[in-house]
Amino acid sequence: MATHLVWFRADLRIHDNLALAAACRDKNARVLALFIATPQQWQQHAMAPRQAAFLHAHLNGLQQQLADKGIPLLYAQVDDFAAQAEKVVQLCDEHDVTQLFYNYQYELNEQQRDRQLERALEDVTCQGFDDSVILPPGSVMTGNHEMYKVFTPFKNAWLRRLKEGLPECAAAPAGREGEKVTPVALDFDYPQQPFDTALFPASEKEAIARLRQFCQHDAGEYETQRDFPAIEGTSRLSACLALGVLSPRQCLHRLLAEQPQALEGGPGAVWLNELIWREFYRHLMTYHPDLCKYRPFIRWTDNVKWQAEDAQLQAWQDGQTGYPIVDAAMRQLNETGWMHNRLRMITASFLVKDLLIDWRAGERYFISQLIDGDLAANNGGWQWAASTGTDAAPYFRIFNPTTQGQKFDTDGVFIRRWLPELATVPDKAIHDPWTWADKQGIPLDYPRPVVDHKQARVATLAAYEAARKA
């Protein structure tokens, strides 16, 4: 009898899981599932404790869902990717596995692990699937068969390709004959921090319901609401996409079911744009693996003389910079494990362009806190903000944190939510509280700005220009 093993990684769902669907296609095959925790590897990559808790919840949920289908989940914990590959070989041998199914991961270490594993499994047929993207890397290329370096041409080519035929979603597998499967509680040796289940769906069923609700009610208004952090105008589904609790194909199909004009630029198109950005960064990482090694895409930016300001980095991490919109955003991140997308741009720009601190320090800190931590998206966002990446903001474009706050949180509703020490400051003064406090002779339990934006802007431009000429 054929034995099929499905190795789950960042794809913790039973609906529209290409590897799982393929493994279950043969009704006569015995199907086993597998998840291998790698705490040491997670530590090296600084995975956020909230993301670990989110993974833990969904792993146990996945086990129950598989059990309901008659599929047992094998579980193991090893240190790192090398040991992970060895474990897969061992389990394939123990269970007489004939075929191994998994969904591709595009990060460099993961790709190397999978290639080594395929070479080691001489008697097992390996099948991989492009599951975490709508269109696979290599399918959207320039006329010269090169990867696009700028988002808009990539997006246009991506849309053209998509209109040729939408990728289908795979149904959840039917129940399988055999012995009743009884789940056991799974755990792993990695720090965990509770997450807010009202903000982040704790089960696949809830994630699907959240997706449906967002596409019905909010996706059409996303363009007008997405930039204002005081409004719940975003989907908050990024954590589900990062761990594969939802697939991007599910997002696409649900969006088009509720907003049928999204592909033509109608309502829902701006949220679709976010899904395409996600694809862009994944495709880029596949073709430029140095991005996984924290190398800048624009090489001359490696010459920028970054400031080694530990005290300022700490102030930024703690939300104590004296710039209210930056501090409120950082406290939202520290408290919830998530940050509004507009604020990710503002805080990243502030760290790099106002404090002249290496973007990699910011990238690492975000990953250590984010419940939706994802290497491709996080690296892409930080390199955009730092003007070091492909399709980056020009280095001379520097956000003014005060005017950004005035523009996107005009009355300070979001700021007050996270900075209670500014409760007495009037709305008009909330973005520059010290100017008001000094005029009134009122003390504030809030730090003065760690840097003068105008002076910092001049210094940063000089540092980038010197690097470019070096």
158 and 58 in a common domain = no
> Can you give the CATH number for the domain in which 367 is found?
1.10.579.10
The number of folded domains in the chain is 3
Q: What pLDDT shows up at residue 337? A: 97
**DSSP per-residue codes, 372-428:** T--HHHHHHHHHHHHT-STTPPPTT----HHHHHHHHSTT-HHHHHH-GGGTTS-GG
Contact 161, 39 (CB under 8 A): no
Residue 185 lies in a domain: no
Residue 391 lies in a domain: yes
318 and 373 in a common domain = yes
Residue 96 lies in a domain: yes
72 and 219 in a common domain = no
Residue 184 lies in a domain: no
Last residue of a domain, one of 73, 106, 129: 129
245 and 328 in a common domain = no
Closest Cα to residue 23, out of 131, 123, 108, 158?
131
Please tell me the distance from the alpha carbon of residue 339 to that of residue 229, in angstroms, as a whole number.
9
pTM above 0.85, yes or no: yes
Residue 434 lies in a domain: yes
Q: CB-based contacts of 116: which residues, under 8 Å, 6+ apart? A: 85
- DSSP 8-state symbol, 301: G
> Can you give the CATH number for the domain in which 39 is found?
3.40.50.620
Q: What pLDDT shows up at residue 118? A: 94
Q: What pLDDT shows up at residue 101? A: 98
Residue 191 lies in a domain: no
76 and 46 in a common domain = yes
> Can you give the CATH number for the domain in which 277 is found?
1.25.40.80
227 and 119 in a common domain = no
315 and 282 in a common domain = no
- In degrees to the nearest 10, what's the CA dihedral of 340, 341, 345, 347? 20
109 and 136 in a common domain = no
pLDDT in tens, the chain (470 residues): 899 999 999 999 999 999 999 999 999 999 999 999 999 999 999 999 999 999 999 999 999 999 999 999 999 999 999 999 999 999 999 999 999 999 999 999 999 999 999 999 989 999 999 999 999 999 999 999 999 999 999 999 999 999 999 999 999 999 998 878 999 999 999 999 999 999 999 999 999 999 999 999 999 999 899 999 999 889 999 999 999 999 999 999 999 999 999 999 999 999 999 999 999 999 999 999 999 888 999 999 999 999 988 999 999 999 999 999 999 999 999 999 999 999 999 999 999 999 999 999 999 999 999 999 999 999 999 999 999 998 877 888 899 999 999 999 999 999 999 999 999 999 999 999 999 999 999 999 999 999 999 999 999 999 999 999 98
235 and 92 in a common domain = no
Q: What pLDDT shows up at residue 392? A: 76
79 and 18 in a common domain = yes
Tell me which residue has tokens 């220009």.
465
Residue 249 lies in a domain: yes
Q: What pLDDT shows up at residue 316? A: 98
- Where in the sequence is the domain holding 241, given as residue range(s)? 132-167+203-287
256 and 163 in a common domain = yes
Residue 380 lies in a domain: yes
Please tell me the distance from the alpha carbon of residue 416 to that of residue 402, in angstroms, as a whole number.
15
350 and 257 in a common domain = no
What is the set of active-site residues? Answer: 274, 277, 306, 341, 359, 382
Contact 60, 187 (CB under 8 A): no
Q: What pLDDT shows up at residue 394? A: 85
Last residue of a domain, one of 237, 266, 287: 287
Please tell me the distance from the alpha carbon of residue 58 to that of residue 48, in angstroms, as a whole number.
15
Last residue of a domain, one of 246, 262, 287: 287
